[in-house]
Chain A
């Protein structure tokens, strides 16, 4: 079975800026994949190259085994893209937009699927409203709907939740999760790292057009982030205990790997006669991973 997405040695320059620098990436069918990176890292360029909106200078890209240039019709039929910009056609209603989009993909009678998408995205009541009349959040939903009219096996969402309220986020993710469970491959870019952490099975991090980290979310978290015991005490902490710990604002942060390390640690603090005023346990999070990876790269490029 061919990869859902295969990107091989793809480079792209805009003038003297290297937007993509020999990117290699493979996403398997059925994955929920996250593409992370700071602004300008090349995420959107990579998605655009995959969608045929941008032509790569070198390398090749394929969707479900179809090359995006030589076999573009099949590649595009297998791909649904939710663009980052909130774009819409002011001449049409929601339903007209979706019917027209279906037609572009060669689907004449698509009313049942359109109704289903509208229902799932909470758009049914807006079906006959003109696009201009919709709020930003509603327009965003229509963009998602437009990307799905042709039931693409691979769905790419470029920052779908930027500036979107909580309710829509939840509706959207519930729907995308269902699509993923039904077998659709999902690729997501977002700046909300907690979203990526909870949704994505695998994550690639992009910086200055290069992939600087690529692993399962779980392994990335283990590798770059640990649990932390944070506590506050009015008493002097024993020096051997706080070795390797960081202090800020009266709080000590002590990294640990397994939960059975916590009890002995607390016991020793108690034995030293320190009273604990406040205490919390921090889980590994993607934000820390992200920052470490990006800093690591910045340092590497300085050296």
Chain B
């Protein structure tokens, strides 16, 4: 990887960092609000996997933040650059499609992890958390961030206007993340919805991530690893193919 890659990565990180109140502080606050409201309503009534509801909720919120912000970073950066036209600044230099991909996705992962860490710090005080198998935490955070970062690249390249990107976000990313077991264990769902949830790859990201905290989860972390790993490989190949062909970027 050359200097072009590291500069593009640096620029992408600097971009979100410069508007940190919007890209980091705001999602942390949103997660904190979710926690306050849901734990207020449910703490006394629900226990999941033998842990308190608030403790159960925290890893879910952290991972949801990682995923949503990873997606938001690459997709919003690309759509803004395309709409304003400054995308030419990265298309004119000798940057390969692989460098382009890695820089945008890695910056997305960084944003996801920064926000995730922020949510963890902000919510940590509300519930006793354990870190039983921290390797899983790291593995799923990285893989989930990469997948959503890739999806963000796809959406950012595909969308021509902000409302198209918003549709991608509202009708695909939001349902996938909200219906993935962030707020509940899917074992508490009716059988039909349990089945549906098993087709949602985000469920495995959240579940595997949560396994790292408590050592228990709805699915085996190895199953989650293979599903998430499979998605990662497929999406990476798909995105790289789009970029190689210059889809919507190099007409």
Contact = CB atoms under 8 A, between A and B. Distances in A.
B93 A104 contact: yes
B7 A104 contact: yes
B237 interface: no
Contacts of B232: none
A99 to B, nearest CB: 8
B94 A81 contact: no
A89 B86 contact: yes
Contacts of B89: 87, 89, 97, 100-101, 104, 146
Interface string B213-251: 000000000000000000000000000000000100011
Contact of A83 (B15, B88, B90): B88
B246 A105 contact: no
Interface in B66-106: 81, 84-86, 88-96
A55 B92 CA distance: 13
Contact of A55 (B7, B10, B86, B250): B250
Interface stretch (A24-32, A71-79, A182-190, A280-288): A71-79
Given A72-B94, A103-B10, A91 B15 contact: yes
Interface stretch (A46-54, A193-201, A293-301): A46-54
A102 B89 CA distance: 11
A100 B95 CA distance: 13
B19 interface: yes
B6 interface: yes
A81 B3 contact: no
Contact of A104 (B8, B14, B15, B18): B8
B2 interface: yes
A44 B215 CA distance: 60
A273 interface: no
Interface of B: 2-4, 6-8, 10-11, 14-15, 18-19, 81, 84-86, 88-96, 246, 250-251
Given A54-B251, A100-B7, A104-B94, 6 more contacts: A48-B251, A55-B250, A72-B94, A89-B81, A89-B89, A105-B93
16 contacts: A52-B92, A53-B88, A72-B94, A77-B94, A79-B92, A81-B88, A83-B88, A88-B84, A90-B84, A91-B15, A97-B89, A103-B6, A103-B7, A104-B8, A106-B4, A108-B3
